[in-house]
Amino acid sequence: MNLFDRDLYTGHQLSGPEDDPAGDAGHPDPPPRTGFFTDTSVCIGCKACEVACKEWNAVPDDGMTLTGMSYDNTQALGASTWRHVAFIEERVAERPTEASPPAPDGRTELPLADASGAAPSGSDSGELRWLMSSDVCKHCTHAACLDVCPTGSLFRTEFGTVVVQEDICNGCGYCVPACPYGVIEQRPGDGRAFKCTMCYDRLGAGQEPACAKACPTESIQYGPLDELRERAAARVEQLQDEGVPGARLYGADPDDGVGGDGAFFLLLAEPEVYGLPPDPQVTTRDLPAMWKHAALAALSLTAGCAASFALPALFRKGGGR
């Protein structure tokens, strides 16, 4: 890999498959990369993860204002909402009632709508489709927010996660437009950027993140990323075998536009239904090409300047003969 494939400031690889982002960040002998797998098919919208996140990380109140469009009172991820349980409510045509998605082995089966939009068994109406999902920072393999940070406030941990150091953040806001998911935000009245840390302090103590610990259905699962991907693939296969064709993984592919996410999801519908971009791309992926063009432009300018001084000198020398 040549110089132009890396960030000149941080030295991080900017795009493409990356098996060891912690090692790429300079951590010697890092532990296996860890992350989140969120199985939305068993999310019940209880918001225990939101409460646990706020309590453990001392995240302030964000208003909790109902929009009138949903039972969701936190609306979106932000500087004061590091976990957000989305309530997606869709009106669909009446369909014959079908079985709800099968529960993973060893768990209680939950009465959720299936991917076709059918109501749960025993429901009085088949017109309302409920999809619930606990969203969070994706802890991208190629994190543009980290690459554009001028102070080093955003850094890659030994677990492969991306964390903001609040005492170093200068509030420049460069990370906000850099995030392909629109996750990171500056806190009003403060100016500094905040987001999920995957409970970095708990990880260092050998504990799982607070949200995963609090989830009553194990919709949020934490562990080594490779193991989670295998478990998620098996879960998708189980759902599809049981007649839920819309089941799919989101953010689990290391060859996607961000190199795979450290927090990925099992969805029951298209990503857009959940407010997720269908094909996220790391926003710094074009920096290598920009640097090459800038280097060529600089060389051309240098050559032009040299020629502008050299040619008059040659003419003067020739005229003096």
Rounded Cα distance between 146 and 284, Å, is: 10
Residues 279 and 290 in one domain: no
Domain count, the chain: 2
Residues 193 and 246 in one domain: yes
Residues 216 and 260 in one domain: yes
Q: Do the domain assignments include residue 3?
A: no
Q: Is 96 exposed, middle or buried (0-12, 13-18, 19+ CB in 10 A)?
A: exposed
In DSSP terms, which residues pair with 265 in a beta bridge? 38, 250
Residues 259 and 305 in one domain: no
Q: What pLDDT sits at residue 301? A: 81
Residues 171 and 261 in one domain: yes
How far, in Å, are 4, 42, 117, 232 from residue 171 at the CA level? 28, 38, 43, 37
Q: What is the pLDDT along the chain (321 residues), one digit of tens a residue?
A: 444 455 544 555 665 667 788 988 889 999 999 999 999 999 999 999 999 999 999 999 877 677 777 778 788 899 999 999 999 887 665 544 555 566 666 554 444 444 444 444 444 455 777 899 999 999 999 999 998 999 999 999 999 999 999 999 999 999 999 999 999 999 998 999 999 999 999 999 999 999 999 999 999 999 999 999 999 999 999 999 998 888 999 999 999 989 999 999 999 999 999 999 999 999 886 666 555 656 677 777 887 787 777 777 667 666 544
Residues 241 and 313 in one domain: no
* 130 touches 87 (CB < 8 A): yes
Q: Do the domain assignments include residue 37?
A: yes
Rounded Cα distance between 318 and 81, Å, is: 74
CATH of the domain at 134: 3.30.70.20
Rounded Cα distance between 243 and 3, Å, is: 49
Burial code of 236-268, b = ≥16 C-beta within 10 A, e = fewer?
bebbeeeebebbbbbbbeeebbbbbbbbbbbbb
The boundaries of the domain holding residue 301 are 286-321
Residue 56 identity (one-letter amino acid): W
Residues 224 and 303 in one domain: no
